[in-house]
Amino acid sequence: MPTAIEYALMAGHAYRTTRDETNWIPVPQGWTPFFPVPDPTTPTFPTTVGFEAISFQRGSEIVISYAGTNPSDVTGDIAADIGLATGLGSAQLIQAAEYYLQVQAENPGAIITFTGHSLGGGLAALMGVFFGKQAVTFDQAPFANSAEASLISPDVAVNLKTYLLSEGYSETALQGLTDFLNVRAALPLGEIPNTSLVTSINVQGEFLSSVPYNILDRIGQSPSIPTNAPGVSGDDLHSVALLTAFLQSIQTAQSGQALNDATFKLTKLVEMIFDDNLYAHPTTDADNRNFLERLVQNGSWRKMVA
């Protein structure tokens, strides 16, 4: 079973095409990445709507990681965010399902789980409940509307199954989705099956946890990492690198002495980390070496405060 840090590293590593390789989040030790899309090595899975994913394998375990939003991709990622948050569906959801089904078909018997950050976390959560698999997500996009039953068209889950059947996927391959629909039909309107399989770990104050975005529901459990960051925007706190650095520190530090604990004693710490005059932190393919990504690349954190 992967640890939360391993899931976070895999969620961060999925941001490949939108990051310079200098700033890639590292692959966790013992895991082998495969099937990156979009990528010249995987031309059999064309992506045209901003969708990005990669898988990781360790023995019989496979983790599928979906990348989050590229803010400049209005017709791809932003459109997917809006469509899935409002329950209208998205081409990225279809590609996320087809990606999973291809991995499943090529690895029969593997234990498959999902992860992702932001948009990727929302996709992972939907795949988790639709196919009955565990999903550990980070700063998850609030896509519960796309999993709930709808009295008016479209019903995203029903439409997804209809589309996948039309593309030649078998009922056997789609059994998890069929089970989801059958269980959901017996539940009160608005309830979603399999939510106990999904967790979203969030940095306190990141923008999807705040007004107005928190009006929309996330899927599953949603614990937050306590953080004190006055003067720092929710967009900056919505950083998979910051979240991963917090998790690395929490794992290795004594109670009350982790990096996020330090933010309550050093109240300007996070503001300084995101100060462009001090450190680079672009979320684009710029080749500046990012401070937070460098922290994560250099591994675990020890005691930060006395």
Query: Distance between CA atoms of 248 and 9, rounded to whole angstroms?
Result: 10
**Residue 211 confidence class, pLDDT cut points 50, 70, 90:** confident
Residue ranges per domain, the chain?
Answer: 4-228
Given a cut of 60, whether residue 165 has pLDDT beyond it is: yes
**Residue 43 confidence class, pLDDT cut points 50, 70, 90:** confident
**Residue 152 confidence class, pLDDT cut points 50, 70, 90:** confident
Kindly report the average pLDDT of the chain as a whole number: 92
The domain at 4-228 falls in which architecture? 3-Layer(aba) Sandwich (3.40)
Given a cut of 90, whether residue 138 has pLDDT beyond it is: yes
Given a cut of 90, whether residue 241 has pLDDT beyond it is: yes
HEC string of 59-83 equals CCEEEEEECCCCCCCHHHHHHHHHH
* Lowest-pLDDT choice from 64-73, 133-142, 288-297: 288-297
DSSP assignments along 292-304, one per residue: HHHHHHT------
Given a cut of 60, whether residue 191 has pLDDT beyond it is: yes
Predicted TM-score (pTM) of the model is 0.95
Query: Distance between CA atoms of 196 and 73, rounded to whole angstroms?
Result: 32
Q: What is the pLDDT of residue 283?
A: 64
Query: Distance between CA atoms of 20 and 43, rounded to whole angstroms?
Result: 21
Q: CA 200, 204, 207, 211: dihedral to nearest 10 degrees?
A: 100
Q: What is the pLDDT of residue 282?
A: 65
Query: Distance between CA atoms of 113 and 63, rounded to whole angstroms?
Result: 5
* Lowest-pLDDT choice from 53-62, 108-117, 240-249, 272-281: 272-281
Q: Is 200 helix (H, G, I), strand (E, B) or coil?
A: strand
- Determine the Cα angle at 116 with ends 97 and 80, to 5°: 60
Amino acid letter, 87: G
Q: What is the pLDDT of residue 186?
A: 96
**Residue 303 confidence class, pLDDT cut points 50, 70, 90:** very low
Q: What is the pLDDT of residue 305?
A: 44
**Residue 188 confidence class, pLDDT cut points 50, 70, 90:** very high
Q: 80: left (phi > 0), else alpha (psi -120 to 50), else beta?
A: alpha
